[in-house]
Chains A and B, each alone.
Chain A
Amino acid sequence: MREETNVATYTYEHSPDHGAKAGVLAYLVTSAVVLLLMMTFGLLMRLEQAQWISIGALRFYELLTLHGAGMVGIAAIAGAAIMWHFLRQYVDLSPRIFVANLVLFLAGVGMVLASVLLGHFHGGWTFLYPLPGKSMGTWTPGAAALFMGGMLVIGVGFVLLHLDIARAIVARYGNFARALGWPQLFGHDDGKAPPPTVVASTMVTIVNLVGLVVGASILTMMLVNLYVPSFDIDPLLAKGMIYFFGHVFINATIYMAVIAVYEILPRYTQRPWKSNKVFLASWTASTLMVMFIFPHHLLMDFAFPTWMLVMGHIIGYLNTVPILIVTGYGALMIVYRSGIRWDMASKLLFLSLFGWAAGAMPAFIDGTITVNYVMHNTLWVPGHFHTYLLLGMVTMVFGFMYYLGKPDHEADDRLIDRIAFWLFTSSVLGFTMSFLYSGKESVARRYAVHLPEWVPYDRIASVFAALVIASSLLFVVRFFSRIGLARRDYQRAPVAGSALV
């Protein structure tokens, strides 16, 4: 934290606002449509728990499985769209592979949908071994295979995408170490470290390639086990591999989406967000931490090696530092007395960093072993991850959509958008707080039917969920109505206060 004594001088360099390629828009449209659908599934689940509708346990767990798989999938797709859009300014990416990933994603989604809606698979998006193979006759091995095959196809698409990104980064910067800015981090900071977008993309590529290979390995093992039960898998090893993949993959979506903040907020404030030593150190640390933190999902598996559980506990605390002190604080720095012109894009991007940082608080507390002992798998868990995913990651995507669709840099937002912003902010907070409070009250997660004592919290959450969907719908409709603008190259970011461009 002593970079001020040994730091290169950074000045803002204006970057033109590029329109999005058709592929990026296809990713965003896919994400937006699936997001609204999955939000609706989420609302249906909360309404069922609130006893305001009656869809039955089977349908509930099918929706639970789709909601989890769908949300993780579109978070990855939307995050990849943001990363690809900005990264192509610095490296030469392949549009064909980018599109191939979307095609494979849609194929995988089709398999997952068929598995759940036709085959009634409802083993959860985490497909925790050996549940997919032991359904008590409620789904067939074929349905389980279709689900896991679909996940595998989606994973293959992302491996291809990340391999292409890795190729492009290595072609431009020589190796990952340089792309992570290690010469500047461990040597003299000459101010020539790769830009934040490249550093973040390198981090995501490294961790996702490792995570996806581990995920594909356990999926393949489980697919073999489905048809050859004598091919036995250690359940603890399987759980460790699944959570390693799952943790890395879902967290990588935030690290991809935050690139929108790194790229767009400087355009609005005409201030630099550069890769100085602290920034580089935090991303290198995050690269390691996001991979070694996974045992915090297994804190209640007493048979897991204790040293690894303690490692998960400790890294859970350390992991908050880059989020709070580097990225969150970085946003505050460039906005403070910047004369920023607040519009929907800048407001949503600023809000998204609040959502990420705020959600990290109950998350690291949950990663404390003694807390986890009485809060693991209660609604506290969806409470914190909905905070940093919905108010963080998804809000970054909405901010990016508003940025792409802004008619011109002087355009004012409509009143209904402004209202929707505050409705979204307050209803997401109400929604996540009702989850967190339910967790405090020990309400178990993933229950189709709640005990009578829990129902009042479900009713409050249902109301907030409906309002979240209403405001999100407005954001998406606005993006769709401006999609023609999104492809064009023109200045979108308004000039801040008295800044000279």
Chain B
Amino acid sequence: MNENDFTELENQLRKLRPAQPSAELITRVERGLAEEGSTSTAGVLPRERRFHFNWLSLGLGLAAAAALVMLALIRLHQPAKKAPTVASKSPLPAISTTSNAQFVPAGLTQVVYHTRDEGVHFPTNSQQPMRRVRSHTRETLQWRNPQTGASLRISYPSEQVSLVPVNGQ
């Protein structure tokens, strides 16, 4: 028999049954779970202390949350008030007002990146069926100052719905 084979020994050990605790133990645990703040066994871990800790944590958490909310509110209000001030104080608009007239249109690009055929429809006041095509595009407008070489570009998304007449054959 292998000296390191403890299977038989483990089986013997498992046959040993620990003594059952007293019947009232479960009742005492039930009472302990039901009663708040009781210290059933000489107060090894006073529950008041634990609850005090929980309330303290809750209070600190709420205070931190309130501070964050107030900070967020302040930040939300700040740009609305300061935006005109910044615009007027910024030196860039002053430059642009003098040079704005010198910007000339340099280009327009329109990129259609998604088109969806929404099927045949009968628009109001139309006897002819129309096919509705919805396109998502991105338009970019560009200006350029020939004197300074500066350029200005504005890009924005747009959605376009086209009605294409349907020719029945």
Query: Does chain A bind chain B?
Result: no
Could you list which residues of chain A lie within 8 angstroms of chain B, going by C-beta atoms? Answer: none
Residues of chain B having any CB pair with chain A under 8 Å? none
